[in-house]
Amino acid sequence: MDTREPSGTQEGLGKIPIGELLGYLKSSPALIIPDEQLRGLGFRNTDPSFNIFANLGGIDIVPPDEESRFRIGIYASSSSDDEAYEEFERYGIVQLRRIQKIVHGATLLEIPYGTRLFGPGFKEQEYTVYLGAMKILYFLGVKLGEIYKATGKIPSELSLKNVAIVTGTEGEPIPIFLVPPIKLIPAKNIDVIIETILQNLKETDPNNDHDTQVEQIRLGFNQTANE
């Protein structure tokens, strides 16, 4: 099991004007912060190619402290999301660390630099020395296997828009996080997840075969869940 913590620290948080950010969010029920307001607080939007909330209606921003090793994520959580986080903490499953939950059901997260969504552009049909589709999807299976082995559940409606990887890290396992909000449901296997991600890959990259790739999810899952 991957027990490494996300790279942010409480010491690092002390350098970031979280209080000002919270003050603005508490006065704004919608999770929308105009660029001008962000700049006034010293933050800026994360580059779109790394924004993990791009398709989920959350916020992914870079703090003003250039020495910080993490970004700030803000999203609308729910009771099922709270329950999932409680289970992750209970069983030591590493997930994006919550900083604080505030009014309107918004939750702040640490997002390690280098974190981005797993998306199109991975065409490999075999393992490579660089970080490619086969290895990433295998370690997604490992992550799901950890969750299933501990809880007997899998993430509901998991798709590519909910899978984030941390690039620029060394060693294995590759850090993989589920993009919240998360809902865990009882299950006997991960067939529905594999089918969903296969369809995602076919839609975004119809010119390449992805069956071999998604079977790596099953391989990582089975090896971990059955240990």
Please determine, looking at this structure, whether the domain spanning 10-113 carries the CATH number 3.30.200. Answer: yes
Q: 124: helix, coil or strand?
A: coil
The pLDDT profile of the chain, 227 residues, written as one tens digit per residue, is: 333 333 334 444 545 667 777 777 766 656 778 888 888 888 888 998 899 998 888 899 998 866 668 899 999 888 999 999 999 999 999 999 998 877 667 888 999 988 999 876 667 776 666 667 888 899 999 999 999 999 999 999 999 899 999 887 766 778 899 999 999 999 989 999 999 999 999 998 888 889 999 999 999 999 999 87
Q: Which long-range contacts (CB under 8 A, 24 or more apart) does 79-87 make?
A: 80/181, 80/182, 80/183, 80/184, 81/107, 81/180, 81/181, 81/182, 81/183, 83/184, 84/155, 84/180, 84/182, 84/183, 84/184, 85/180, 85/182, 87/150, 87/151, 87/153, 87/184
Q: Tokens at residue 27, please?
A: 């006065």
CA distance 85 to 180: 10
How much is the pLDDT for 4?
33
Q: 71: helix, coil or strand?
A: strand
* Predicted structure pTM score: 0.84
CA distance 199 to 192: 11
Domain boundaries, the chain: 10-113, 117-225
